Structure 1
Amino acid sequence: MANPSVSNRRTFAIISHPDAGKTTLTEKLLLQGGAIHLAGEVKARGAARRARSDWMKIEQQRGISVTSSVMTFEKANPDGSIITFNLLDTPGHEDFSEDTYRTLTAVDSAIMVIDAAKGIEPQTRKLFEVCRLRSVPIITFINKVDREGRPCFELLDEVADMLALDVSPQAWPIGMGGLFEGILDFATNRASRPEGDSREFLGKRDVDPSLPEDVAEEMELARGIYPEFDLDAYRNGDLTPVYFGSALKNFGVAELIDAIARYAPPPRPQPAEGGTIAPDKDEVTGFIFKVQANMDPQHRDRIAFMRMVSGTFKRGMKLTPSGLGKPIAVHSPILFFAQDREIADTAEAGDIIGIPNHGTLRVGDTLSEKNDVRFTGLPNFAPEILRRIALKDPTKTKQLRKALDDLSEEGVIQVFYPEIGSQWIVGVVGQLQLDVLVSRLEAEYKVEAR
């Protein structure tokens, strides 16, 4: 990859079952990267601070993610080079898995978060299989080791057996639950402890004598029985490096972000009709994997999220959407930090930029300079639940239609206008989507419906 700026980009998603700690981990990754200085940890309702990546009102109320958030931040390597991270925080709830599936088409790697007390849960396994189908390499983070959980070896064996992956632990908890004393980084042989000190681990005699005797033996055994990390095996999807930690207590997060910088692949070629498009191709190309309405409700905006596949984009450049057939000038491309944003003057392969539009861009569209590329592999979904939608105030019909048109462009709901009858029908994948729809209609459009 000739462009050093592109080779230093890491575009990745975080996948997990609900409540495994995905959003809290997102916060702490941003904290480690210097993008924020105070994490809005996910807490009970009424907390003074809200999770930075959960920006929609219903997400803040319920403490769950129902949309994909995009956050871009940078971190310096020890050699002075700058790594640009494009982090996509995806919905964990199964009703919104289609949004996650589409998001996984836009990333080059993923972090799989596992609750140390629960192991691999159904949604985790489902999303892992999507990653496997798309050859997305996985780094595993076993979270909540500061609470009572299952034995480390049992968790590692479950990952290996259920997911048919080689596992290579790269960090190890010094005790678990009430005996948790920190994290040992196998790469550096240094142990980080709650008091903030860090020292080299020399063997059994260097372990705090108050810890159980088997802790040091576990560490030495883990390094002996599991395979060493192999970069090619990881990037081919045959091996996952495993990190233990506590996102809430910020343990193991520094090691995780360093692993993403060292091991995760830079932007990869993307499948297209007639072949693949390499990131070093001169022509600017990209595809729309998400449309989000009302990120700024006061302006009724509609933002299309584009994954840059190749070329160097410059503000004001004209690109042709495959669904439109004629070029549009992109005057106000956006870089994201959840709902916060700034104008992007340039963007490289691997970056995620937002394009404000008025319905001209849809999920699945390819954008290119010459209109000679069509990317493939973006999934479509059939609704599993159909419901008629009724207004409490019949005079708001026009506002309802505008709202449904906007929200259907996100690809999360589908709207059907029957030839007979006046009630519109909405189609969704899960019940929670209906709850979110009603909430957004009221919060963003001042329309009460049932």
Structure 2
Amino acid sequence: MKHIRNFCIIAHIDHGKSTLADRLIQSCGGVSLREFHDQMLDSMDIERERGITIKSNTVTLDYRAPDGQDYLLNLIDTPGHVDFSHEVRRSLMASDGALIVVDASQGVEAQTVANLYLAMEYDLDLLPVINKIDLPAADVDRVREEIDSDLGLDPFAAIPVSAKTGVGIDDVLAGIVEHLPAPTGDPEAPLKALVFDAHFDKYRGVILQVRVMEGTLKPRDIIHFMHTDRDFKVDELGYNQLKLVPRKQLSAGEVGYIVAGVKSVQDIEIGDTITLANRPATEPIPGYQPARQVVFSSVYPMSTDEYQDLTKALDKLAINDAALTYEKDSSAALGFGFRCGFLGLLHLDVIQERLQREFDIGLVISAPSVKYQLTMTDGSTLEVDNPSYWPDPMKIQSAAEPYIKATILTPEAYVGPIMELCRDHRSESQTMNYLSAGRVEVVSEMPLGEVLFDFYGKLKMITRGYGSFDYVPIEYRTTDVVKVEILVNKEPIDALSYLVHREKARTRALHYCEQLAEAIPRHQFKIPIQGAIGGTIIARATIQPYRKDVTAKLYGGDVTRKNKLLEKQKKGKAKMKQFGSVNIPQKAFVSVLQADKD
């Protein structure tokens, strides 16, 4: 066991985790030159195109130290984006140490600090790595100061590397063996293994990634999941060395895979503890937390014929992504669809792109919303995330919305605009911490619903890309939420209704009305588009009608002939308005929501 090292790589998004993992794999001979490609551990096309890690991945490497000793290195590559922090949490639970990567040009950022606190929660040993030293803007000395002041780690223990060119990679491998601890555990004790990830293979079912904490596991053992209370028989186990390499057993301290005939990721819970059915452990591994969905949105197929395809596509995605939840939903305007729960806006964006790309389905997505907690006048409580199920306001005693604690790291020059941006998004408290020369941490408590639409984009714009943002959910607080309905020709369109704070209701309703007025084609009669709270109209736009020139055929004569024709046209328009229906094209729904996201 003393020759095993279990470690993960944590960092802010785009600081070079995946590239560093590539170099470590190459240095240990984990892949041949012919089979190598960039971002070895990022298996999805979207991950490679966007240069982000969405799903954490693991690989076991054989490393021969300079002193001739052979070591087994279990590397877990983690996502950097705030939406996937639950993946990072599980990876940390499976590790004994972590490489904390900092960009030599950008320095310590918000997610770096957040991941550091997560790692400290699990009492991991940390080894700082300063990456991208080959960049012209790299300033290693300044980054060492930030590692000391912002992270509280030894700045002289930080290893300067260039993951792109391969400089310093041998020092990182030596540092892992030297500074990170070996795992502990008793191979003879009752089995306790942590399921920290899983993926679906269409031929073999769900392949579990596990870290064995105590005991020993062998093929044909009957395993028991302690949280879901289910039993399965182990068909195969072994190491994940970019391909699955079967072994005769997995013992305490080892990381590997298990194939046990599990048909769907939803049959188990990621983060669960596995034990033996005939010799169970007394209690599960502490620290388990289920993934929390915070953003909810309805997904409809662009064409109603594609509903069955969308159903199958969501089933397949959920097999691989246990954090995606969905239930059936319907809309008078858009037909049948699904109400989905996501971990954040990036998660929503990734799922939407995968549905369109992998399954070729055109989608209409409703405005994202959060879950509100309502206290009714009869004393009962209710949780609502869908405007369609918003109860009568007369029956609501009070409403509460989720709040977050947002941490923004920024150069000092942009503090003023950031404070103003936070205030515009109903921030309740703001504190500033000066971390080092020219760098400020702004901590603000604000509603999650305010962050959903344009906050991150505006932050990047006003800080010219130098600001970084991270948040943690804190609690529910009382708020004044209203349901705004959009009426087209005095008919409410359920797919466009939304929940919003009363202060922001008119601005948003006006935006919706203006976008719809542009997207809906003109008809033969005047079409009013209105935003309403209950019976009160708060915003309006009008689509002017086409008008046929009925007097063109007249060539003189009395003016009463002209008036008679115009009066007849007027009555016809009124009748048409009464019976005519407005055709709302699908692009109108898309234009409203896309403009809102921008």
Contact 1:384 1:428 in 2 (8 A): yes
User: Could you state the TM-score of these two structures normalised by the residue count of structure 1?
Assistant: 0.71
Give the aligned partner of residue 233 of structure 1: none
For residue 296 of structure 2, the aligned residue among 367, 386, 395 is 386
Shift of 1:91: 1.0
For residue 142 of structure 1, the aligned residue among 130, 133, 142 is 130
After superposition, the C-alpha distances for 1:274-300 in whole angstroms (9 at most, x for unaligned) are xxxx3444322202122323xx4x648
2:173 counterpart of 1:260: no
2:60 counterpart of 1:72: yes
After superposition, the C-alpha distances for 1:109-136 in whole angstroms (9 at most, x for unaligned) are 1101111111101111111110011111
1:121-136 matched pairs, under 5 angstroms: 121-136=109-124
Paired amino acid for 1:106: A
Q: Which runs of 5+ in 1 are unaligned?
A: 1-5, 42-48, 170-240, 269-277
Distance 1:119 1:428, change over 3 A: same
Q: More strand by proportion, 1 or 2?
A: 2
Distance 1:300 1:346, change over 3 A: closer
Distance 1:39 1:88, change over 3 A: farther
Counterparts of 1:449 and 1:302, CA distance in 2: 28
For residue 358 of structure 1, the aligned residue among 245, 263, 283 is 263
Counterparts of 1:371 and 1:312, CA distance in 2: 12
After superposition, the C-alpha distances for 1:73-114 in whole angstroms (9 at most, x for unaligned) are 111234543211110111122222222222211111110111
Distance 1:326 1:115, change over 3 A: closer
Contact 1:304 1:361 in 2 (8 A): no
Distance 1:279 1:123, change over 3 A: farther
Distance 1:254 1:316, change over 3 A: same
Counterparts of 2:116 and 2:227, CA distance in 1: 31
For residue 430 of structure 1, the aligned residue among 344, 351, 366 is 344
Give the aligned partner of residue 105 of structure 2: 117
* Runs (4+) off by over 6 Å: none
2:196 counterpart of 1:289: yes
Give the aligned partner of residue 371 of structure 1: 280
Distance 1:78 1:312, change over 3 A: farther
For residue 323 of structure 2, the aligned residue among 412, 415, 419 is 412
Distance 1:446 1:151, change over 3 A: closer
Distance 1:40 1:119, change over 3 A: farther
Counterparts of 1:242 and 1:287, CA distance in 2: 30
1:212-361 matched pairs, under 5 angstroms: 241-268=157-184, 278-293=185-200, 296=201, 299=203, 301-325=205-229, 327-338=231-242, 340-356=243-259, 357-359=262-264, 360-361=267-268
3-state SS of paired residue (2:158): strand
Counterparts of 1:444 and 1:332, CA distance in 2: 30
After superposition, the C-alpha distances for 1:121-167 in whole angstroms (9 at most, x for unaligned) are 11111111100111111111101112223543322121111122333
Counterparts of 1:316 and 1:61, CA distance in 2: 41
3-state SS of paired residue (1:333): strand
Paired amino acid for 1:345: K
Shift of 1:12: 0.7
Counterparts of 2:205 and 2:353, CA distance in 1: 18
Q: Which runs of 5+ in 2 are unaligned?
A: 365-598
Distance 1:315 1:280, change over 3 A: closer
Computed over aligned residues only, the root mean square deviation of the Cα atoms, in angstroms, reads: 2.7
For residue 13 of structure 2, the aligned residue among 14, 18, 26 is 18
Give the aligned partner of residue 93 of structure 1: 81
Give the aligned partner of residue 48 of structure 2: 60
After superposition, the C-alpha distances for 1:35-64 in whole angstroms (9 at most, x for unaligned) are 1233999xxxxxxx4421111121122222
Counterparts of 1:353 and 1:381, CA distance in 2: 23
Shift of 1:24: 0.8
Paired amino acid for 1:266: A
Give the aligned partner of residue 37 of structure 1: 32
Paired amino acid for 1:113: V
Paired amino acid for 1:37: S
Shift of 1:336: 2.0
Paired amino acid for 2:21: T
Give the aligned partner of residue 355 of structure 2: 441
After superposition, the C-alpha distances for 1:392-423 in whole angstroms (9 at most, x for unaligned) are 45455455445434544633323244699943
Which has the larger displacement, 153-162 or 413-422?
413-422
Contact 2:238 2:246 in 1 (8 A): yes
Give the aligned partner of residue 193 of structure 1: none
Contact 1:291 1:362 in 2 (8 A): no
Give the aligned partner of residue 175 of structure 1: none
After superposition, the C-alpha distances for 1:236-290 in whole angstroms (9 at most, x for unaligned) are xxxxx2101211111111011011112211124xxxxxxxxx3444322202122
Contact 1:27 1:40 in 2 (8 A): no
Distance 1:448 1:290, change over 3 A: farther
3-state SS of paired residue (2:351): helix
Counterparts of 1:140 and 1:282, CA distance in 2: 34
Distance 1:146 1:50, change over 3 A: closer
Distance 1:355 1:100, change over 3 A: same
Corresponding pairs, count = 353
Paired amino acid for 2:229: G
Paired amino acid for 1:382: R
Counterparts of 1:267 and 1:358, CA distance in 2: 31
Counterparts of 2:49 and 2:4, CA distance in 1: 33
Give the aligned partner of residue 7 of structure 1: 2
Contact 1:99 1:412 in 2 (8 A): no
Greater Rg over alpha carbons, structure: 2
Give the aligned partner of residue 147 of structure 2: 159
Counterparts of 2:30 and 2:248, CA distance in 1: 19
Counterparts of 1:152 and 1:447, CA distance in 2: 47
Counterparts of 2:351 and 2:230, CA distance in 1: 33
Shift of 1:322: 1.5
Counterparts of 1:346 and 1:149, CA distance in 2: 49
3-state SS of paired residue (1:335): strand
> Aligned residues: percent identity?
26
Counterparts of 1:250 and 1:334, CA distance in 2: 30
Contact 1:14 1:88 in 2 (8 A): yes
3-state SS of paired residue (1:99): helix
Paired amino acid for 1:134: Y
Distance 1:150 1:39, change over 3 A: farther
Counterparts of 1:419 and 1:400, CA distance in 2: 14
Give the aligned partner of residue 27 of structure 1: 22
Contact 1:290 1:411 in 2 (8 A): no
3-state SS of paired residue (2:40): coil
